[in-house]
A and B are shown apart, each in its own frame.
Chain A
Amino acid sequence: MSSGTKSSIDAANQQALERIFASRPFLVDVRPAHELLPQLGDHSVLHAGPPLGSKTMCGPLYGAILGALQYEGWAADEAAAQSLIEADKITLLPCHSVRAVGPMTGIITPSMPLMVVENREYGNHAYATLNEGLGKVLRFGANDESVLQRLQWLQQVVAPALQAALQRTDGLDLRVIMAKALLMGDEMHQRNVAATSLLIRALMPHLVRAAPASEYLGEITDYLTGNDQFFLNVAMAAAKATMDAATGIPGCTLVTAMARNGTDFGVRIGALGERWFTAPVQMPKGLYFPGFSAQDANPDIGDSAIVEALGLGAFAMAASPTVANFVGAGGLAQARRYTEEMMEITVGRSPHLLLPTLEGMGVPTGIDVRRVVETGIVPWINTGIAHRRAGVGQIGAGVVQAPLDCFVQALEAFADDWDR
């Protein structure tokens, strides 16, 4: 036990924190995935979470892939889509493998428009899909005709308009929007109403001047103003662009990504770059829409836990007593306890993203796997709950805890690597 070890791990973590805090994510563009990700070839489908490996995919993910294959025109109908999958004709890759993130099933195929977030400090980019809205949506595994039509509309109508609008800006400063939204009661996972409003307010003058065909302006405006969760995908891409700036630092034991594929929960840590450490994902606890119960719920799924890696979502629960209520906790005191518990496993406090209910303390950032293993406290994650059957969609929302085992594995792998 040399003191050199301590100082070099702590120094690496400090360096990672500095990069996280110096990162300045800007929303700069919306473009088709195939333009941004040339590696996304024919029959390639990106999904949320760590790689599936040989594990059976969960219902919602299967449903979403069936829909995506039809959306891309690779399969004429659901039966054709099924045979493509069964014949092993599609390439499945995690979104994270191409610096993208997707909520819930996280499906991305080449034709889908992606938002581009640029980290102005370090020049790296991250990508996320446009939020489809509520109801029957592909991200929850729904895949009927209405779902596919909406995807087409996003691709053909919304994306070009947003691209034109964004081109009139110098990019939208997401760190500032997120800082403001925290003060307005968003934690930016379950609740994005303030952040969405701020973003739309910044975007709208440019959208109007970009002058999309007048018959579409109303539809686009309805879409943007009618979905409180529009910003979730933006926050995810901002978090991804920020956390990616902290990867690959030797000696760094901080978590750089957390994601779920509906079967496994995966984490990555700074020193070990793109390696995933996985354990079976847990069931979320929360509230259900009328007619649904825990028995209908799919195990937790989605890349959205990237916002918790940055210190938002459940980590910033103190900003959102309303969300704490929603997930069954009671009010401000309980909301603060979520954040305080996460302070136990994080080594930094953001100088930018501040919590008004904790005397302006910054959100807890930089989950140290050593602290997770030492205390046994695992990250909380705010989450939506998908129906376990493909195609039904969202049935509730709540909180879920990351499984301790993947942090233990990460620590052990780090130790092996460190000893070399």
Chain B
Amino acid sequence: MADYKRCLILPSTYRDSVELMKLSVALENLSGVHHAAVMMGTADNKRILREAGLLTSEGEQADVNDLLICVQASSPEAIQQIVDEANKRFARLRVDVNDSGEMAPRTLETALERMPAANLACISVPGRYAGNETRKALEKGLHVFLFSDHVDLEAEAELKQLAAKQGLLLMGPECGTAILNGVPLGFANQVPRGPVGLVSASGTGLQQVTCILARQGIGVSQAFGVGGRDLHRRIGGHSMRAALQTLAADEDTEVIMLISKAPHAEVSDRLAQDAARVGKSCVLAFLGSESRFSPADTLHYAATLEHAALIAAALVRDEPVPSNPNDDLQRRLPSIGAVRAKLQPQQRTIRGLYLGGTLAYEALWLLRRSLAKVASNLDATLNATGGADHVVLDLGAEEFTSGQPHPMIDPQLRHHQILDLARRPEVAVVLCDLILGWGMHPDPAAALAAAWKEAKKVALDEGRQMICIAAVCGTQEDPQGYDQQCRVLRENGIILAESNVQAIRLAQAMIEPSTKAAGAGPVAEGIKLKPPTPSSDNMIPEIPAHLPALLASGPRVINLGLELFAAQLRACGVPVVHADWRPPAGGDTRLASLLERLR
């Protein structure tokens, strides 16, 4: 057996002898190594090494303050390997130390030092800092879930280019929800794992669909958020297209769903083309989108979130795809009559008070199909002259939230709005969403019930009764518990609907007895294009190179911004380091831009 010997001296290097003995044992266990010893170069130690036949003439030169690595191995390669390993250990930085009781890191860089194996940054810092933090995260090789808004469109385009170059996925900006490997990011519901993969430009849209699926007993493989503007013409569906390809290659995904509020026509066409050739069934729910291809074998269109979920459920079960949205309106008609009878003749209008932007959007779009004069802050028709009959408010919009917590977290805003409606004699129906899940108010049903209780009293004092219909979006596994939340609402006289679409139809039925909610039937189809065919000018985007690894190992997260996101990840057993992020240079914009220049 060939024997090669080598001694390496690390001058002026001191380690405790216990550590060196442990290192010697570890080195001896490497393959091809016969003997290894790491010691300080004292006379006694050198004598021991000499007697063991490990000390070479170079090793003899070691001084008492030098560290001596002596190796006997079967090949020069093995010797090199062991020397490299020893050097690596001497140079090692601390890894994966439990962060309990430690000072929270203040920046992304130092958070990464705490968790070198992190693969995802969850960023919810104020918008004007979000772009920089996202760029840093992408440069460090982290996928990004970017919750923050107020990142401008050009910055979004640049960041998404950077993400592509780095082989990473950027979810956001304005990304409210994602579920990766069953882990809820941002505002997400606790849903089971399963065969449906989703990509959504809408947070509450994604929540609504995953909850309906969950109530059908169908789980989610991955649910990527991409941010509200991803399907803007300038962005071109960049992240959605990349995520779509990832789901196409994902073994756990059988059916793919793409969800967005009305995309730009070019973008929706490109996505349809992409979807038509991924080789898996795809359901496209582009709410309010006019330009659509006619269905192909594997391509399905849905007009509403609920319809989309039911199509996906049918595809998973290999059942015929439902063309008419399933609803229980017929079953409920007798009770509708009884409720309606309580209304005064002047009570004619529906008022939607939504916390979820996409749910509000869906309500506005559906109501307008059958009702005249529906105004909303969503399209700035609220203050138009002429006076609207019906109103749909997105209470999460900037005009309501600027400087205040989102009403999903703080129910005060909707409370005041409901009380206001109680004083209006024309209001018949208050239409609400109640969204459960991580990040949400801990007991939204109690908050809504309390507001409704007060409102009923106010109205009753004026001789009226109002109707409140709530679409509950959640699962029994959510922290708030679906059944418990529903019970509280029901006990307070709030009528429940299992989806937003059903709540909207119920509301219509309350005020339109003659039409029997005719306007709520299947959405009229517009002009159909031929099914999309592959076109040579439409390059299929690449799967972000590092995304499969994230899905294989699960997220390990660095959280910058809202601590509640870190807390929910911790509760789900996900490794997370929360950074105590603060504005750079204490918010001094001159110094911050100087720092930016010197990065």
Contact = CB atoms under 8 A, between A and B. Distances in A.
Contacts of B586: 376
B380 interface: no
Contacts of B318: none
B591 A373 contact: yes
B597 interface: yes
B103 interface: yes
B102 A344 contact: no
Interface string B347-367: 000000000000000000000
A401 to B, nearest CB: 15
A41 interface: no
Contacts of B597: 1, 5, 415
Contact of A175 (B12, B16, B585): B12
A411 B103 CA distance: 26
Given A376-B585, A377-B106, A408-B591, A24 B94 contact: no
B14 A176 contact: yes
B367 to A, nearest CB: 48
Interface stretch (A28-36, A81-89, A291-299, A333-341): A333-341
Interface string B110-121: 100100000000
A253 B598 contact: yes
B552 interface: no
Interface in B1-29: 11-14, 16, 19
Given A352-B14, A359-B97, A1 B596 contact: yes
A418 B599 CA distance: 12
Contacts of B13: 176, 352
B106 A411 contact: no
A351 interface: yes
Interface string B83-109: 000000011011001000111011101
Interface string B271-291: 000000000000000000000
Given A1-B599, A374-B595, A408-B591, A351 B90 contact: yes
A414 B106 CA distance: 24
Contacts of B19: 360
Interface in A158-179: 173, 175-176, 179
A99 interface: no
Interface in A54-75: none
Contacts of A352: 12-14
A417 B533 CA distance: 58
Contacts of A1: 596-597, 599
Contacts of B594: 373, 411-412, 415
Interface residues of B, number: 33
Contacts of B105: 343-344
Nearest to A10: B599
A375 B110 CA distance: 11
A26 B14 CA distance: 14
Nearest to A332: B101
A412 B102 CA distance: 32
A13 to B, nearest CB: 11
Contacts of B102: 336-337, 340
Nearest to B132: A1
Contact of A24 (B11, B106, B110, B591): B11
A362 B91 CA distance: 9
A43 interface: no
Nearest to A337: B103
Given A344-B106, A377-B106, A176 B65 contact: yes
Contacts of A418: 598
Contacts of A389: none
A180 interface: yes
B12 A358 contact: no
A375 B103 contact: no
B94 A359 contact: yes
B584 interface: yes
Nearest to B135: A1
A176 B12 contact: yes
A376 B598 CA distance: 17
Contacts of A6: 599
24 contacts: A5-B599, A24-B12, A175-B14, A176-B13, A179-B14, A336-B102, A337-B102, A337-B103, A343-B110, A344-B110, A352-B13, A352-B14, A358-B97, A360-B94, A361-B93, A373-B591, A373-B595, A375-B106, A375-B107, A375-B584, A411-B594, A411-B595, A412-B594, A414-B598
Q: State the 9 A-B residue pairs at the shortest beta-carbon distance, nearest first.
A: A361-B94, A173-B65, A340-B103, A179-B14, A176-B65, A176-B14, A24-B12, A374-B584, A6-B599
Given A176-B14, A415-B594, 14 more contacts: A5-B598, A6-B599, A9-B599, A120-B12, A176-B65, A333-B101, A337-B103, A352-B13, A361-B93, A361-B94, A370-B599, A371-B107, A373-B585, A373-B595
